[in-house]
């Protein structure tokens, strides 16, 4: 059987070859051994030794030894083969150690990034709670005074006011109250966010509420850019067990990505729907933007990979990390010039999570 075919079928720790053979020369064997099994040690044993083919042999691959025939003492060859095996085993051991070290480094890097992210979330939560509480009281006062003035004016127009001026003032007060209502919605969202920013804090989460909270932060940006936000949220969704703030971060990131990829006049659509097999919730965020090239699609979840100028490349890697933390799935489909669709599946809460055991008071005797 051809020597190269043999090496394709199995790995040989040591290969001994001549430089000249009836059907094949030694260089082709050396090249094949080096390409197929880089850790294989090659010993050249030849009766056609020249300086030229010795240089060719060492240039072709990792030659352990170059010997000339006739070899009078077979013990010499046995010793060389033993040394070659020892070096091959040492190289393999070093490779395995390097792979383990690399895996340990990647795991340490992943945990370090997760720890940094968790600390950021905790700090953001504390800041959000402080801002929300500081804003809530003055907003309530502004809204209360605006409502009093509005009701007073609406009940009776002052005699010395023109009709047009009167209507403009009423409209301005209505706009003021709408602005305060919106600000209070944002404050409420900040408070909900602050309560759930500890990464280990899990509770029953209603996905549509999380989506509405994400809309509070992103919808006005989309509208200002001339992008239509379509919401197709199923009314009956099973709750999931998770961290609401972390999930809000997922959907907010996806909406911001969609906004940045979609030109004015485009459409961003958010769909939520139940899933029976497996039991859970699907959320789709799709846009009519520029799309993602196929060669970039496989890299978008990698940390620090970005196609945007000034981007950090962390947004989608965090999205994927949070989804996996919730035992979920994330899929992406994109077509250049037509848009992108992100689909996220989150499993429904288990029965024991829906109905946690209640504490029972035991009366003493």
Here the tokens at position 145 are 């005074």
* pLDDT tens digits along 144-172: 888 888 888 888 877 777 888 888 888 88
The reported pLDDT for the residue numbered 166 is 84
pLDDT of residue 333: 94
Q: Please, what sign has the CA dihedral across residues 94, 95, 96, 97?
A: positive
Count of H helices and E strands in the chain? 10, 10
Q: Distance between CA 238 and CA 61 in Å, rounded?
A: 62
According to DSSP, the residues that pair with 351 across neighbouring strands are none
Query: What is residue 85's predicted lDDT score, i.e. its pLDDT?
Result: 84
Q: Encode 232-269: b = buried (16+ Cβ within 10 Å), e = exposed.
A: eeeeebbbbbbbbbbbbbbbbbbbbbbbebbeeebbbb
Q: What is the pLDDT of residues 171-182, one digit of tens each?
A: 888 888 888 877
Domains and CATH numbers, the chain: 3-72 (3.40.50.2300), 202-353 (3.30.565.10)
Q: Give, in degrees to the nearest 5, the angle at Cα 178 between 171 and 257.
A: 130
pLDDT per residue rounded down to tens, the chain (365 residues): 465 556 555 677 787 777 767 666 666 777 677 777 777 888 877 777 666 667 766 776 667 777 787 777 788 888 888 888 888 888 888 888 888 888 888 887 777 766 666 666 566 666 666 777 677 778 878 888 888 888 888 888 777 778 888 888 888 888 888 888 777 777 766 666 555 555 557 889 999 999 998 898 888 889 989 999 999 999 989 999 998 888 988 999 899 889 989 999 999 999 999 998 889 999 999 999 999 888 888 888 876 667 666 555 667 877 888 898 899 999 999 999 999 999 999 999 886 665 555 544 444 43
Cis peptide bond upstream of 70, omega within 30:
yes
Maximum alpha-carbon separation in the chain: 127
């Amino acid at each position: 059987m051809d020597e190269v075919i043999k090496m394709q079928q199995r790995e040989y720790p040591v290969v001994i070859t001549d430089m000249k053979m009836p059907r094949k020369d030694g260089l082709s064997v050396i090249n094949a051994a080096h390409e197929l099994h880089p850790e294989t040690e090659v010993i050249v044993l030849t009766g056609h030794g020249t300086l030229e083919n010795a240089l060719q042999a060492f240039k072709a691959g990792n030659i352990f030894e170059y010997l000339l025939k006739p070899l009078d003492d077979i013990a010499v060859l046995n010793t060389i083969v033993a040394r070659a095996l020892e070096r091959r085993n040492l190289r393999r051991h070093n490779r395995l150690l390097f792979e383990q070290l690399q895996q340990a480094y990647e795991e340490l890097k992943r945990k370090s990034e997760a720890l940094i992210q968790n600390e950021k979330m905790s700090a953001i939560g504390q800041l959000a709670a402080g801002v929300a509480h500081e804003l809530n009281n003055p907003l309530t006062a502004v809204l209360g005074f605006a409502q009093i003035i509005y009701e007073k004016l609406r009940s009776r127009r002052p005699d010395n006011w023109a009709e047009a001026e009167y209507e403009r003032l009423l409209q301005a007060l209505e706009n003021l109250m709408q602005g305060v209502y919106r600000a209070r919605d944002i404050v409420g969202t900040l408070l909900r966010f602050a309560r759930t920013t500890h990464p280990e804090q899990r509770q029953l989460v209603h996905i549509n509420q999380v989506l509405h909270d994400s809309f509070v932060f992103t919808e006005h940006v989309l509208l200002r850019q001339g992008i239509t936000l379509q919401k197709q949220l199923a009314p009956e969704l099973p709750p999931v067990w998770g961290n609401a703030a972390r999930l809000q971060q997922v959907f907010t990131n996806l909406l911001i990505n969609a906004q940045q990829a979609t030109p004015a006049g485009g459409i961003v659509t958010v769909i939520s729907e139940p899933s029976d097999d497996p039991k859970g919730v699907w959320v789709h965020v799709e846009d009519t933007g520029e799309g993602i090239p196929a060669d970039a699609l496989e890299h978008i979840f990698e940390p620090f990979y970005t196609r945007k100028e000034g981007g950090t490349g962390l947004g989608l890697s965090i999205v994927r990390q949070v989804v996996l933390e919730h035992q979920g799935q994330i899929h992406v489909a994109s077509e250049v010039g037509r848009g992108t669709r992100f689909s996220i599946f989150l499993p429904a809460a288990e029965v024991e999570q829906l109905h946690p055991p209640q504490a029972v008071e035991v009366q003493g005797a």
